Chain A
Amino acid sequence: MKVLTPTVLTYLKVVILVAVVPAIIGFVVVLAERRLMGFMQARLGPNRVGPKGLLQGVADLVKLVTKEDITPSRAERAVYFLAPVLAVIPALTALAVIPFGPAIRIGKVKTTLWVTDVNIGLLFLLAITSIGVYGIILGGWASNNKYSLLGGLRSAAQLVSYEVPMGLALVSVLLMTRSLSMVEIVHRQGRLHLWFIFPGLLAFFIYFVSGVAETNRNPFDLPEAESELVSGFNTEYSGVKFAFFFLGEYAAMIVISCVAVTVFLGGWLPPFPHVAALKFLRILPPLGWFLIKAGLFLFGYIWFRSTFPRYRFDQLMALGWKWLIPISLANIVIVACAILATPGRSNGMFVLSYIFGGLFVVMFLLAKLRQKLARRERLAAIPASAVE
């Protein structure tokens, strides 16, 4: 077993990650998205290729690879070629620091379910994912197409503005984790018996909203905006290059989901591991729990997509700058105060959990009430006009 030295294992994991994640994207995520959207939209979705449409990914891949790869004659060739690559590589690189599970033992080989545990993991993630935006900006610019340029411009502004609340949301979590290492963040949640989603509920919402904006998904899919910009930055792209943009978007979605799982949902830990009654949840391996949680986020993405209309560009910026950034700044202050003001190392977090939980319930009920009132008002208006 001398062959499987830690270095070799790391290379092996990198290869698996780079080979497996795109495959998961192609065969599982895309298909799940299309089938789920079909279900939500009262239609079937792809169900012809293979049993129950399971091989749709293969068909799509074949289609994309065999399509003619067109480069517009007046495009900036080098940049045009580089842009899709830039969209994919950072997203896949980011996965290196995600801990998918704890250290495991397969036969005699002991290894970890993360490629590397950098002590600045979270910082590394923020840095590397923000490189991805260059792919979109440069792709839009290099296409030499006005619509693509507008798409590129939009994404530049959008991604830069949403990096800020995203980073600030994570800062407030850092106050609780006291570590930037992704593995340590999970361990700490296990030690505290508390997932950071509870004390960091506000941060979680900000993070997820910004994350959706970062990945250009509904309702923030302005850079592509089919109906306005005719697909925006990727209008001129076809074939493999388009597939790369596609892959990049989904890989970025997966990264955002994985980070959310790690930082807020206790990574590979099963729900409430210290509660004896819930011990049976350990039937599922840690990796299973991680995938389930990440799947929940991806489901959220899909749900958003089939529910919301698209924001307008200026409204999107206003949401980012006038709402998310001030709220996330306030959140940092609140979290810091709560941690400092309470005795003990973790009591503040529990206090915060109760406060945020209570607020959440109240706001949820208020929203329901408002919805009900608006509906009643609307229904009252109809017979009035019907009477003439």
Chain B
Amino acid sequence: MSDDRPISGPEKDQAARTADDLKAAALAAAESVPVSVEPPTLFEVQEMELNFGPQHPSTHGVLRLVIRVDGEKILETKPDVGYLHRGTEKLFETETYPMGIPHTDRLDYVAAATNNHAFCLTIEKLLAVEIPRRAQLIRVILDELQRLSSHLVWLGTSGIDLGAVTPFWYAFREREQILDFFEEYCGARLTLNCMRIGGLPFDLTAGWVERLMEFVDDLPSRIDDYEQLLTDNRIWKKRTVGIGVISGQECIEWGVTGPVLRASGVEWDLRRAQPYECYDELDFAIPTRTNGDTYDRYVVRVQEMRQSVRIVKQCIDLLEPGDIRGKVPRVIKPIAEEVYASIESPKGELGFYCVSNGTNRPYRMHVRPPSFINLQALPRLAKGHLVSDLVALIGTIDIVLGEVDR
């Protein structure tokens, strides 16, 4: 009722009656229906919005997460990507096919060799060229070394995320040695640019193979050292077992690949599922675990490192003198076609989708970045865990922002 004018006469009675009726009705309702009484809360529960990154030591680059927290419990995570976007896919269109290779170095910058490899594989599929056997073997060696170095970076950084500083230094000591091998091979340590369409730019230098053999013979004992510090460590287990559990089915639905998928019990590895180069001749296992938690992802990656060592050793044994480059025309002008080729990068399925239109530049180039697609699962993994776990989870899906943002 409007309060503007004074109420008088019958109208007033009516108003009073209505009010009384309402009151009575309310009382009756209160008696008949059990009213849920809010428990008196001493303190108001406040949700806080926390900006996690882009400048944060544990986001492994410029990842920004907007998280809603209740105390330290995460209610919602929103990854905000794109801080490192450099338009790589567009850049591919503006340059000739071979000129695209250095751009791929900058995608997953801790694993440049596998990026080069996936790119070259796509163009080679387009051109249908045969790769000489020696080149194939060296490519596999470089790939596996790259996998080792990428996993070492992951091991070190995710250890630091959980406060274990020492494995970082151990892992980086070995990674330095791997980078030395790359440097000796192609002159670069990080942005390798170490593959060419149809083969390789250089042959191996004298003594490289012998030194590599020495290194990979020694590596398993070093991996034992890391495991000594972490695998059976109570605190490490407490921080990782049961954190960020995701089932194999869910991984498949999210498109998650790589060690994350294998830790959830799905034995899917492109090296075995659709072998490229000479992986079908090599004897190696695909480590899988069933729980799909952070600990299992750790175990899978560590065991993958041991398998990589095995692969490198086998490739070294198989190496024979020969060509390192297939028959590729000087000017690469593939016929108009669409191809997709992918490899098992350290992070998962790394694929390139190329549309050519008969010129010497791709009409469209698309990257299927494992980091980006795996990152999608982060909000799902993080829900209900604590802020401290979020740090562990960013580490465990092993993202590289160069690849996420491209």
Contact = CB atoms under 8 A, between A and B. Distances in A.
Contact of A227 (B232, B233, B391): B391
Given A150-B72, A308-B233, A387-B285, A228 B170 contact: no
A106 interface: no
A305 B57 contact: no
Contacts of A229: 387
Given A150-B72, A225-B388, A230-B57, A308 B169 contact: no
Given A42-B170, A227-B162, A309-B162, A385 B285 contact: yes
Contacts of A341: none
Nearest to B225: A42
Given A306-B166, A308-B164, A313-B72, A385 B288 contact: yes
B371 interface: no
A386 interface: yes
B220 to A, nearest CB: 10
A226 B57 contact: yes
Contacts of B391: 227-228
Contact of B159 (A146, A309, A375, A388): A309
Contact of B166 (A41, A228, A386): A41
A41 B58 contact: no
Contacts of B239: 309-312, 315
Contact of A41 (B57, B169, B388): B169
Given A219-B235, A374-B232, A310 B170 contact: no
B301 interface: no
A43 interface: yes
B287 interface: yes
Contacts of B387: 150, 228-229
B231 interface: yes
Contacts of B286: 385
Nearest to A310: B163
Contacts of B310: 386
Contact of B238 (A305, A307, A311, A382): A311
* Interface residues on chain A, size class: 35 or more
A307 B386 contact: no
Given A230-B57, A308-B233, A385-B287, A313 B388 contact: yes
B389 interface: yes
B173 A310 contact: no
Instruction: Tell me the interface secondary structure of chain A in the complex.
Output: helix
A157 B292 CA distance: 32
Interface in B72-102: 72
A292 to B, nearest CB: 26
A169 B100 CA distance: 67
B232 A309 contact: no
B24 interface: no
Interface in B156-185: 159-166, 168-170, 173
A378 B298 CA distance: 14
Contacts of A388: 285
A227 B160 contact: yes
* Interface residues on chain B, size class: 35 or more
Interface in A109-157: 146, 150
Contacts of A68: none
B307 interface: yes
Nearest to A150: B72
Contacts of A308: 163-164, 233, 235
A40 B303 contact: no
B306 interface: yes
B232 A375 contact: yes
Interface in A18-65: 37, 40-43
Contacts of A146: 48, 50
Contacts of A172: none
B236 interface: yes
Contacts of B229: 307
Nearest to B58: A227
B284 to A, nearest CB: 8
B56 interface: yes
A308 B160 CA distance: 10
A41 B170 contact: yes
Interface in A202-251: 218-219, 221-222, 225-230
A353 to B, nearest CB: 27
Given A312-B388, A313-B388, A305 B58 contact: no
B285 to A, nearest CB: 4
A225 B58 CA distance: 11
Contacts of A305: 165
Interface in B1-52: 48, 50
Given A219-B163, A309-B162, A375-B232, 19 more contacts: A41-B169, A146-B50, A150-B72, A227-B391, A228-B58, A228-B161, A306-B165, A307-B229, A309-B163, A312-B238, A312-B388, A312-B389, A313-B72, A371-B232, A374-B232, A382-B303, A385-B286, A386-B285, A388-B285
5 contacts: A42-B173, A227-B57, A308-B163, A308-B233, A378-B227
The 5 lowest CB-CB distance pairs between A and B, nearest first, are: A310-B163, A309-B164, A41-B169, A386-B285, A227-B58
